Amino acid sequence: MTRQNELLRRSVVSELEDYLKKKFHKSTVLHLFGSSVNGFGTNSSDLDICLSCSPNLQKRRLIRTVANKLRSIDSIEKLWSRPRTRVPIISFIHKPSQFEVELSINNHWPLHNSDLLRRYSAVDERCRVLVHLMKHVAKQSCIIGPQHQFISSYAYTLMVVHYLQHTHPPVLPVLQQLQRPHNAGEPPHTLDGCSTYFYKRSNQHLRSAWPDLHTNEQSCGELWKGMLSFYTDGGGRVVSIRRISPPHSKMDRLQIEDPFETHRDLGSNLTPHTMHRIQQVLQYALDQCGGITPQLCENNNWSPSLFCPP
């Protein structure tokens, strides 16, 4: 994501926040989350926004009220609300920027998830490369989206982080298990009774807490091939980035634990058919690894689409 695109996103959020403060409620604050801020975004990423406000109304009623206010903005089109989903949202397109926007209300867990993923993206550049490659393959192969009984872009990101925590030596630490620095000066943070702690200090400090930092010297290509093997070895797997030793799966599908809302299984939408399809796509990508030669890369005659089934 370019700096210009990042500034444009913040400009759109500021525009919407100013309008809603005047027309909806003066306590309105809009927060970006997801790919716009977690270090894994591209210029084409959707704009995910959380609206924080104080009115003591049910989320479904708030969604309808906010949607009605937004309909009167000329720069918004194709607006529709989904008040009965697990997280009620409003979807629309911001015409001047052409961003596809999803807005939720008082939905604060994704803000913490975005902060956590942003810290992981800063630990090692190879993490960003593998996430972009995994999401490209998933989108081009149409194996993404809970509405289609697949898993979300966020879930694929967790899969990459989980794998990089289990290489030898590991590329990434388990930030939620690293000891809180004695002089951090941070009070314990909780949301809905659950801890939101993870190690937030820079890589300079991280090395003292996690000596494995940058000891893994594998290339992105080696890690990509290893990850594909990791997820095509058959059977189910528990994906958890909050603990180094997750339990063994008792299911024939991926169980993907949310790092903070640990009761949430992001793989619960998967069916035997869609799980098999994911395995097929990843196996195809693994088979293609043998055809990516140094000469091909030097001549720029390859693209990530080579890993996608025809």
pLDDT in tens, 17-29: 999 999 999 999 9
Q: Backbone phi, then psi, for 31, in 5-degree steps?
A: -120, 130
Q: Which residues sit opposite 81 in a β-bridge?
A: 90
pLDDT band at 310; cut points 50, 70, 90: confident
| Tokens representing residue 209 in the block | 């807490």
pLDDT in tens, 76-85: 999 999 888 8
Contacts of 76 (CB under 8 A, 6+ apart): 70, 92, 93, 94, 95
pTM of the predicted protein model: 0.91
pLDDT in tens, 226-274: 999 999 987 678 999 999 887 777 788 999 999 999 999 999 999 999 9
Q: What pLDDT is stored for residue 297 in this prediction?
A: 55
Range of lowest pLDDT (49-53, 97-101, 177-181): 177-181
Domains of the chain, each with CATH number or no CATH: 3-107 (3.30.460.10), 111-307 (1.10.1410.10)
Residues 160-187 have a mean pLDDT of 87
Asked if 287 and 225 count as a contact pair (C-beta separation under 8 A), the reply is no
Q: Backbone phi, then psi, for 169, in 5-degree steps?
A: -75, 165
| Residue whose entry in the numeric block shows the structure tokens 């550049």 | 125
